[in-house]
Each structure stands twice: as C-alpha cells, then as structure tokens.
Chains A and B, each alone.
Chain A
C-alpha cells in the first residue's frame, strides 16, 4: 500500500459530455468515487481550457490527466498546463477500462507501475469479439 491516504486525483478532459458520462458510469459500477473530475472543451477557447486545467492542478502532488483524443485541444491544453509538473501523468485514449483500472489500483500501486497497468488494461479492453465477416 502507498503511504499517505489521500487518493491520487484524476481529471478527465474530453470533447462534449463524454468525461461526465464516463465518470457517471464508473460510479454506477463502483459506487461513489472521490478525486475524479470531468472537464469538457466544448465552447472554450484554447486559453480558457488551459487556464481551467492549471486551476485544477493548483493542488500540489501527483495527479493524472486522462484525455479522449491525442492531438486535440484537450491534449494540448493538458501538456501546456502541466509544463512544469513532471509528477502529473497525462494519458490519451481514455476509455472505461482505463478509468476503472485507475480507481481500482491508485491506492495500491506506485506511479510508474500504475501508468503501465492502466494503459495495459485500457488496451486489452479494445478487442474484437464478433466475426465481422
């Protein structure tokens, strides 16, 4: 177990309402979860998205930013906002498996290993389950 009890926080930033809905579904599965916050880029200028991420990062300590789409405004804002925060992990391609893995392992797994595990879990969740002929 990690020392110090406060759970590692995560900010989920997506287009539209995806982040809010993903967190709703995570709580439907696991019950209420602390330290998960949703943010949307909808209607926001690049500067305002970056400022909102900076504001969320004002609390010190390790944290994750999970983004729907590599190469979009959410990813750019996260990287710009976390420029001087190497302890902040940023991962693109958020899916339900990634979020469930994050919440499940965040209290028991140290940072680099946590990143490896949740990326592995989210990739394993992408798999063909029908013939598609």
Chain B
C-alpha cells in the first residue's frame, strides 16, 4: 500500500480531489476517514457517488481506517486518504498510521478561524494537533491543487498562529 496523498480538506470528496489530485496521482482507492459519515449509510452514499468509477472508495471510521491501512500494508494499492480536520489526521497518527507528510489543502474560512494561507484557515483547535504532527517528524505541506503554490508549514509558523488566538 502506498499512501499517495493524505489530505486535510473540509470539503472531503470534491473536484480538487477527484479530478485535480486523482488525475495527477492515479490512486486506486479513495479512503475517507470520518466517524460521522461512516456511521450514516445515506451520507456515505452521497459522498461515494462523487468518486469516479475507476477509483475504489472506502468510507471508514478513524479506528477502522487505521486498522485498514495496517492490514493492507503489503497490498498493491495506491491510497488517497482524506480527513476533514487536522485533529482527525493527528488521531490517525496516534493510532499508528505511518505518515511521512500530510497535505493541508482545503481548510476554508468559517467563524473563529484565522488565515495562515489563502486556502488554509485554522481554528485554535487545529494548532495542538498540528504541533503533535510536527513533533512526530511528519512534514506538513500546504498545497491546494497539483502544480499550485506549495508551502511547508513549520513549528515557528504554528507558534505564530498560536499567538493570534
């Protein structure tokens, strides 16, 4: 199993992922890790319907996601993993998912969030998990779409964001 992209994107399955990144990275499976959606068959169907037919799709809870990635480590699969929040990605890391880097791609403005980059707005709750991921040696790469602006998020930037809340 190759984790071709682990992306935090509040829109989850949408064009930037299914057209932009999927065309570029050719994943064989899109794995959406979200406890609420995984527990709701109707919502799962809504999200799964947006995935192109040539890509397999799994919508799993965080615990099931960690177990799936461990179980399929030897399988020839190219997985594109999505979570809606930094906290969920950090939770997967604590459950043993061996991330090398995480893509911050679609974190839109909503009430109480502050801008780090034009496509990365962070809430106060996002900062401790960002720090945890950096402390684990995981690289945080902000990039919305393939070929778009790339930005490596470091501890100093997270510290500066902490000072803004």
Residues in chain A within 8 A of chain B (CB atoms): 15, 43-48, 69-73, 75-76, 79-80, 83
Residues of B within 8 A of A79 (CB): 46
Q: Count B interface residues, CB 8 Å.
A: 20
Residues in chain B within 8 A of chain A (CB atoms): 10-15, 18, 42-43, 46-47, 49-52, 84, 107-110
* Count of A-B residue pairs with CB < 8 Å: 50
Residues of A within 8 A of B10 (CB): 45-47
7 examples of A-B residue contacts, CB within 8 angstroms: A45-B11, A45-B109, A46-B108, A48-B110, A71-B50, A71-B51, A76-B14
Residues of B within 8 A of A47 (CB): 10, 110
Minimum C-beta distance from B162 to chain A (A)? 21
- Report yes or no: B14 in contact with A71, Cβ–Cβ below 8 A: yes
- Report yes or no: B49 in contact with A71, Cβ–Cβ below 8 A: yes
Residues of B within 8 A of A46 (CB): 10-12, 14, 84, 108
User: Which 3 pairs show the lowest CB-CB distances between chains A and B?
Assistant: A71-B50, A45-B108, A73-B14
A88 to B129, CA, bound (A): 40
Minimum C-beta distance from A86 to chain B (A)? 13
Residues of B within 8 A of A83 (CB): 42
A76 to B49, CA, bound (A): 9
